[in-house]
């Protein structure tokens, strides 16, 4: 993430009552939530969740799949299951799925559990039958 890019996407606002808010990819969020931001580009927001998992918001394709996987790899530096909430994922191509699947083959070797999977993605994952993913 470059400093210049962050300034253009994070627009500070002041709300009555002293709560600082920001607009992130069109969504109004608390400025305090920025500490959970793992990755941000024009198409994708990756946030950590309180349970140690991550939320993917937006679109993943060839242009950002590797960067997304790097962010998840840094988040999950220790062994265990990686939980990925894909409820707000609008699109993922095969290169994005591959980047996620390769996390289970990394030196950490983390199985990936996808939560809140939409029917279209569930169908694709069933067809691919990749052992790297568990659908929650």
* Within a domain: 8: no
What is the separation of C-alpha 4 from the centre of its chain, rounded to a whole number of angstroms?
A: 21
Q: How many domains does the chain have?
A: 1
Instruction: Give the whole-angstrom CA distance, residue 131 versus residue 115.
Output: 16
* Within a domain: 23: no
pTM (2 d.p.): 0.72
Instruction: Show the domain range for 64.
Output: 34-135
* Within a domain: 29: no
* Within a domain: 27: no
**How many CB atoms neighbour CB 77 within 10 A?**
8
* Within a domain: 7: no
Query: Model confidence over 31-74: pLDDT tens digits?
Result: 555 458 999 999 999 998 877 789 999 999 999 999 999 998 88
Pairing of strands 133-135, 112-115: parallel
Q: Give mean pLDDT, residues 73-95.
A: 85
* Within a domain: 61: yes
CATH number, position 73: 3.30.750.24
- Which tokens in the block code for residue 114? 């996808």
Least confident of 7-16, 29-38, 71-80: 7-16
Mean residue pLDDT across the chain: 77
Q: For residues 96 and 60, is the Cβ–Cβ distance under 8 A?
A: yes
* Within a domain: 114: yes
What does the buried/exposed string (b/e) look like for 43-66 if buried means 16 or more CB atoms within 10 Å of the residue's CB?
Answer: bbbbbbeeeebbbbbbbbeeebbe
* Within a domain: 4: no
């Amino acid at each position: 993430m470059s400093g210049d890019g962050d300034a253009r996407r994070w627009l500070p606002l002041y709300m009555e009552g002293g709560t600082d808010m920001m607009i992130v990819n069109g969504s109004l969020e608390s400025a305090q939530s920025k500490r959970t931001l793992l990755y941000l580009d024009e198409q994708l927001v990756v946030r950590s969740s309180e349970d140690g998992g991550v939320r993917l918001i937006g679109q993943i394709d060839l242009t950002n799949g590797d960067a997304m996987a790097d962010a998840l790899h840094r988040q999950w530096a220790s062994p265990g299951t990686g939980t990925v909430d894909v409820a707000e994922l609008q699109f993922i191509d095969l290169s994005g799925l591959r980047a996620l699947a390769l996390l289970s083959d990394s030196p950490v070797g983390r199985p990936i559990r996808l939560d809140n999977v939409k029917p279209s993605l569930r169908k694709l994952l069933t067809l691919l039958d990749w052992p790297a993913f568990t659908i929650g």
